[in-house]
Amino acid sequence: MPKRVARPKYNQFEKSLRGTLAYNIRLLRFENGISQEELAFRAELDRTYISAVERCIWNVALSNIEKIADALNVEPWRLLVPPK
């Protein structure tokens, strides 16, 4: 049986631009039902990099934001907009 994943909550993340990016990536992954591994494959990035981005450990290059956004089928700016 697949592991059940809870919808991410915004208050779990620091309220910075990097935290907003991390939250939006995780939320879109959740909504699309894809793993970090699948997102990394689609974005041509390493799974550990995706994990580090979602945990606010790495600063993310604009080129990687573009790759992640393309893999999630959203415009890059959408990843940087705080939730309402």
Structural domain boundaries enclosing 71? 15-80
Q: Is the pLDDT reported for residue 45 higher than 80? A: yes
Write down the mean pLDDT value for the chain.
Answer: 89
Q: Render pLDDT for 19-36 as a digit per residue (tens, 0 to 9).
A: 999 999 999 999 999 999
The CATH number that applies at residue 24 is: 1.10.260.40
Q: Is the pLDDT reported for residue 14 higher than 80? A: no
* Domain annotation covers residue 36: yes
- Token look-up 């699948």 returns 38
pLDDT attached to residue 76? 97
**38's tokens:** 């699948």
pLDDT attached to residue 20? 93
Residue range 54-59: average pLDDT? 90
- Looking at residue 73, the DSSP 8-state letter turns out to be T
Please write down the long-range contacts of 2-8, taking CB distance under 8 Å and 24 or more positions apart: 5/30
Give the total number of structural domains in the chain: 1
* Domain annotation covers residue 63: yes
Work out the end-to-end distance of the chain between its first and last CA atoms, rounded to an integer number of angstroms: 33
* Domain annotation covers residue 74: yes
Q: What is the dihedral of CA 30, 35, 36, 37, to 10 degrees?
A: -160
